[in-house]
Amino acid sequence: MPYLLAILLALTTLTGCQSAYYSAMEKVGIHKRDIMVDRVEEANEAQADAQEKFTDALTALKALNQFDGGELERVYNSINDEYLASQKAAEKVSDRIAAIEDVADALFDEWEDELTLYTSATLRRDSERKLRSTQASYKRMLGAMHRAEQKMTPVLNTLRDNTLYLKHNLNAAAIGSLQGEFNSLQRDIQRAITDMEAAISESERFIAQLKKA
Q: Which amino acid is at 7?
A: I
Give the burial string for 105-118 (b: 16+ CB within 10 Å, else e).
ebbbeebeeeeeee
Q: Specify whether 71 is located in the same domain as 121.
A: yes
Q: Specify whether 20 is located in the same domain as 51.
A: no
Q: Specify whether 107 is located in the same domain as 204.
A: yes
Q: Specify whether 204 is located in the same domain as 168.
A: yes
pLDDT tens string 167-205: 887 776 667 677 767 778 888 899 999 999 999 999 999
Total structural domains within the chain: 2
Query: Average pLDDT, stretch 38-52?
Result: 96
For residue 178, which of 91, 72, 87 has the smallest C-alpha distance? 72
By the 8 A CB rule, do 152 and 192 touch?
yes
Q: Specify whether 91 is located in the same domain as 139.
A: yes
| Distance between CA atoms of residues 172 and 67, nearest Å | 9
Q: In which domain, by residue range, is 38 found?
A: 32-212
* Per-residue pLDDT, 127: 96
Q: Where are the alpha helices (DSSP H) in 28-120?
A: 32-65, 72-114
Q: Specify whether 55 is located in the same domain as 8.
A: no
Q: Specify whether 110 is located in the same domain as 8.
A: no
Q: Specify whether 14 is located in the same domain as 100.
A: no
Query: Average pLDDT, stretch 76-104?
Result: 94
Query: Average pLDDT, stretch 72-98?
Result: 91
Q: Specify whether 24 is located in the same domain as 88.
A: no
By the 8 A CB rule, do 192 and 173 touch?
no
Q: Specify whether 141 is located in the same domain as 177.
A: yes
Q: Which H or E run contains 168?
A: helix 121-168
| Distance between CA atoms of residues 28 and 47, nearest Å | 30
* Per-residue pLDDT, 5: 53
| Distance between CA atoms of residues 141 and 203, nearest Å | 5
By the 8 A CB rule, do 50 and 196 touch?
yes
Q: Which DSSP symbol is given to 69?
A: S
Q: Specify whether 15 is located in the same domain as 109.
A: no
Q: Which amino acid is at 131?
A: L
Mean pLDDT of the chain: 86
Q: Specify whether 25 is located in the same domain as 77.
A: no
Cα separation values, 106 from 43, 51, 98, 117, 123, Å: 18, 30, 13, 17, 22
| Distance between CA atoms of residues 78 and 131, nearest Å | 49
